[in-house]
């Protein structure tokens, strides 16, 4: 979610612009998932028309499909340009742990459950897989020692397995999307094609709702990225995730 990039072109969208788009669409999505569904969908449409509540919730969730691909794109940019990959990985791991209780409370109404884990875990696994691959192959996979290449592939598969076993948000296919964006970061059209293919797999074999493919609408934004960090609010985007989940759950408790 964080990134540290050098100055580039001035036109287009900065990293901060993309973060705001991702955060706003995520918030819209979670208003539906954590608040509306807690009030109306899961509890028999207690307010107004059940059809209206369902369709409004579906609209909010559809908008939210843009957030995850953008976060994955920014994760890759952060990995490529950060001054300290170790600190970057540590931040994601720490906030994955911090966010788990608010995540469970907001979506499962429990302070602790292993049913599903928050998206920071998915991002952390994806980051570790990309960083390990880059370190083992020294960024030049075709010419690296075969054993290093095998080790890199094993670690990538381990990250996919970990996301699947722990049932993280977007799961193994979420980690796969990060890997696609990483490996094809210098080939934007191939990146878009395979990235959208992963979103389709989320629907076809991952059990996601068909609206997941709407995440493809975020890919044109990547072509507008100008390589600049933009105005950053340090740690705000990390803190916002657990904080907004607690706020939405608090609102749910107050109004139902």
Q: 6 lies in a domain? A: no
**Per residue in 105-128, pLDDT tens?**
999 988 888 889 999 999 999 999
pLDDT score recorded for residue 3: 46
- Mean pLDDT value across the chain: 87
pLDDT score recorded for residue 143: 59
Least confidently predicted of 23-32, 149-158, 185-194: 149-158
- Residue 107 contacts by C-beta under 8 Å, 6 or more apart in sequence? 33, 34, 116, 245
Q: 250 lies in a domain? A: yes
Residue 23's domain spans which residues?
Answer: 15-255
Please give the Cα distance from 23 to 26 (Å, whole number): 5
pLDDT score recorded for residue 146: 65
Q: 143 lies in a domain? A: yes
Q: 7 lies in a domain? A: no
| Reported confidence tier of residue 145, pLDDT bands at 50, 70, 90 | low
CA dihedral 219, 220, 223, 225 (to 10 degrees): -80
Q: 103 lies in a domain? A: yes
Q: 223 lies in a domain? A: yes
Question: Would you call 13 helix, strand, or coil by DSSP?
Answer: strand
Please give the Cα distance from 2 to 12 (Å, whole number): 19
| Reported confidence tier of residue 6, pLDDT bands at 50, 70, 90 | very low
Look at the chain and count its residues. Answer: 256
Q: 108 lies in a domain? A: yes
State how many domains the chain has: 1
Question: Would you call 95 helix, strand, or coil by DSSP?
Answer: helix
Q: 138 lies in a domain? A: yes
Which residues pair with residue 13 across a beta bridge?
Answer: 225
């Amino acid at each position: 979610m964080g990134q540290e990039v050098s100055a580039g072109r001035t036109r287009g969208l900065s990293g901060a612009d993309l973060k705001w788009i991702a955060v706003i669409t995520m918030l819209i999505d979670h208003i539906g998932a954590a608040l509306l569904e807690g009030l109306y969908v899961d509890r028999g449409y207690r307010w107004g028309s059940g059809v209206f509540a369902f369709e409004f919730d579906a609209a909010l969730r559809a908008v939210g499909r843009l957030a995850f691909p953008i976060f994955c794109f920014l994760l890759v940019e952060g990995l490529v340009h950060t001054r300290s990959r170790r600190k970057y990985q540590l931040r994601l791991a720490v906030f994955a742990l911090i966010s788990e209780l608010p995540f469970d409370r907001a979506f499962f109404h429990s302070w602790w459950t292993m049913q599903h884990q928050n998206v920071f875990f998915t991002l952390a696994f994806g980051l570790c897989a990309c960083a390990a691959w880059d370190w083992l192959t020294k960024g030049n996979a075709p010419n690296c020692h075969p054993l290093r290449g095998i080790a890199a592939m094993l670690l990538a598969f381990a990250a996919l397995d970990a996301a699947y076993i722990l049932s993280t948000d977007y799961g193994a296919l979420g980690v796969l999307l990060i890997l696609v964006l990483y490996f094809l970061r210098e080939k934007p059209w191939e990146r878009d094609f395979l990235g959208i293919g992963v979103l389709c797999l989320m629907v076809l074999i991952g059990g996601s709702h068909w609206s997941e493919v709407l995440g493809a609408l975020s890919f044109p934004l990547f072509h507008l990225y100008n390589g600049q960090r933009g105005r950053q609010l340090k740690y705000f985007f990390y803190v916002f995730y657990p904080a907004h989940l607690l706020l939405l759950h608090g609102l749910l408790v107050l109004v139902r």
